[in-house]
Amino acid sequence: MKPDVLIAYPLRSQQMDMLEERYTLHRLDLAKGEEREAVFAKAGPVCTAMVVNGHVTVDKAFLDKMPALKLASCSSAGYEPIDVNEMTRRGITLTNTSEVLLDDVADMALLLMLAARRRLPQGDAYVRSGDWGKKGMMPLTTSTFGKKAGIVGLGQIGLAIAKRCEAVGLTIGYHTRTKKSGNDYTYFDDPVQLAEWADVLIAATPGGASTEGLISAEVLDALGPSGSFVNIARGTVVDEPALIKALEEGRIASAGLDVYLNEPNPDPRFAKLDNVVLYPHHASGTEETRERMAQLAVDNLDAFFAGRPLLTPVN
């Protein structure tokens, strides 16, 4: 008999084939309206595991319908809409995939930082339009080597960003709620002081209530008119209206953004700004990483049913 697994969010087709082969799947992801209750009614008593993603809301009402659940294998790194405290209370383990996507996400932070300061999109447009031939060299841009990077959130991804920033000649400072051991970076217990110190401020925290508006108007003003802000965390981490105002008024120099408040339709004022580089929440969007994320979700599930230790538990 194959074990029963709830699919709240699908994996890539190759990994879905693996799941089909090994488990009896209950496809909540394919159910609409009233069909969802029918899936819950059948899956609830028998599914000890589910595959989920950070796009799915898993609250008390959801968990009430899944009384046998012991494992939630999440195929993304972020899990803001998943009530992990409630899961812990009920003895359910959540696993995620930070470990396999951190390099691509950290690369994107570096890319956004450099692209914003070196005005890469403007340079590209300058060559394509023929302006280079007509007007001569484009205006000078801003260097990054020898400057200071302030990283807000020094977890797995923040650390990978720090290493890349060091490699291109930046000094590292960081802000987290608790000072981290095992590095020589300068710790700031206050994000405003970190921003005052830094030339580039990079957000790499989780989203959710505890980080909402952490990058406030005050933090952006402390970063100042020659500073750059990079966000690969979540749109909620920055006071977005304050960020737009700071960019419009030149109170910070530039920004590179992968995440926004209103995805996938961010505030249209961003598109009018010349000093921001925009990317569509795709920092982990490479073939290789998406493959690894889906496979890790399967591997956690397999470990659970084989009675082996989970590979990447969160709680």
Q: Does 158 bind ligand NDP (CB under 6 A)?
A: yes
Clarify whether 281 is annotated catalytic. Answer: yes
Closest approach, Cβ 252 to ligand NDP, in A, equals 20
Closest to 52 measured CA to CA, from 22, 77, 35, 34: 77
- Beta strands (DSSP E) in the chain are 4-7, 24-27, 49-52, 71-74, 93-95, 148-152, 171-175, 186-187, 200-203, 228-231, 254-257, 276-278
Residue 254 to residue 218: CA distance in whole angstroms: 16
Q: Does 156 bind ligand NDP (CB under 6 A)?
A: yes
Among positions 206, 235, 256, 266, the unique one binding ligand NDP when judged by CB under 6 A? 206
Q: Does 284 bind ligand NDP (CB under 6 A)?
A: yes
Among positions 1, 61, 177, 184, the unique one binding ligand NDP when judged by CB under 6 A? 177
178: which 2 tokens? 């608790």
Clarify whether 35 is annotated catalytic. Answer: no
Contact 162, 174 (CB under 8 A): yes
For the chain, the distance separating the N- and C-terminal CA atoms, rounded to the nearest angstrom, is: 29
Angle between helices 13-22 and 287-306 (to 10 degrees): 10
Rule CB under 6 A: which of 241-280 touch ligand NDP? 258-259
Residue 107 to residue 119: CA distance in whole angstroms: 17
Q: Does 232 bind ligand NDP (CB under 6 A)?
A: yes
Q: Does 207 bind ligand NDP (CB under 6 A)?
A: yes
* Structure letter (DSSP) for residue 5: E
| Candidate segments 34-42, 205-213, 261-269, 304-312, binder of ligand NDP by CB under 6 A | 205-213
Among positions 122, 155, 166, 196, the unique one binding ligand NDP when judged by CB under 6 A? 155
Rule CB under 6 A: which of 72-91 touch ligand NDP? 77-78
Q: Name which of 204 and 246 has its Cβ closer to ligand NDP.
A: 204
Closest approach, Cβ 121 to ligand NDP, in A, equals 19
Closest approach, Cβ 37 to ligand NDP, in A, equals 31
Using alpha carbons, list the distances in angstroms from residue 55 to 5, 82, 247. 18, 9, 29
- Give the count of residues interacting with ligand NDP (CB under 6 A): 30
State residue 287 phi and psi, 5-degree precision.
Answer: -50, -45
Q: Are strands 200-203 and 228-231 parallel, antiparallel or unpaired?
A: parallel
Q: Does 53 bind ligand NDP (CB under 6 A)?
A: no
DSSP string, 274-289: SSEEE--S-TT-SHHH
Q: Name which of 75 and 228 has its Cβ closer to ligand NDP.
A: 75
Clarify whether 263 is annotated catalytic. Answer: yes
Q: Does 172 bind ligand NDP (CB under 6 A)?
A: no
Catalytic residue chosen out of the listed positions 117, 175, 234, 290: 234
Residues 6+ apart with CB under 8 A from 133: none
| Candidate segments 21-29, 35-43, 131-139, 203-211, binder of ligand NDP by CB under 6 A | 203-211
Report the run of H or E that residue 36 belongs to, with start and end: helix 34-43
Q: Does 50 bind ligand NDP (CB under 6 A)?
A: no
Closest approach, Cβ 280 to ligand NDP, in A, equals 10
Among positions 8, 72, 92, 157, the unique one binding ligand NDP when judged by CB under 6 A? 157
Q: Does 235 bind ligand NDP (CB under 6 A)?
A: no
Q: Name which of 5 and 100 has its Cβ closer to ligand NDP.
A: 100
Which residues are annotated as catalytic? Answer: 234, 263, 281
